[in-house]
């Protein structure tokens, strides 16, 4: 039931990775499902598509824009 941890160091991602999304990348990102705008929740490290009702995780500064990895917004919050 609980969300799987991001497993940041199981296969050695680039240690120089910034923990926030690259600004140029952020500028061009939209929801892959609706092509609508995204809100960047820096505290939770999520990109939120209000239109789709989905929150896409950001792991180690890498947006995971995969629909099956996204959290449904009306679903109970796994983190808290």
Min separation Cβ 11 and other proteins, Å: 4
Min separation Cβ 52 and other proteins, Å: 11
Q: How many CB atoms lie within 10 A of CB 72?
A: 10
Min separation Cβ 77 and other proteins, Å: 21
> How far apart, in whole angstroms, are the C-alpha atoms of residue 64 and residue 69?
7
Q: Considering only residues 26-45, where is the footprint of other proteins by CB under 8 A?
A: 27-33, 35
Q: Please report whether residue 4 would count as binding other proteins according to CB under 8 A.
A: no
CB 54 within 8 A of CB 34: no
């Amino acid at each position: 039931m609980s969300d799987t941890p991001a497993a940041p160091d199981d296969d050695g991602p680039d240690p120089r990775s910034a923990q926030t999304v690259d600004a140029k990348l952020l500028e061009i990102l939209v929801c892959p499902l609706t092509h609508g705008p995204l809100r960047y929740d820096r505290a939770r490290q999520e990109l939120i598509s209000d239109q789709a009702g989905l929150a896409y995780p950001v792991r180690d500064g890498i947006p995971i824009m995969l629909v099956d990895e996204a959290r449904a917004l009306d679903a109970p919050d796994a983190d808290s």
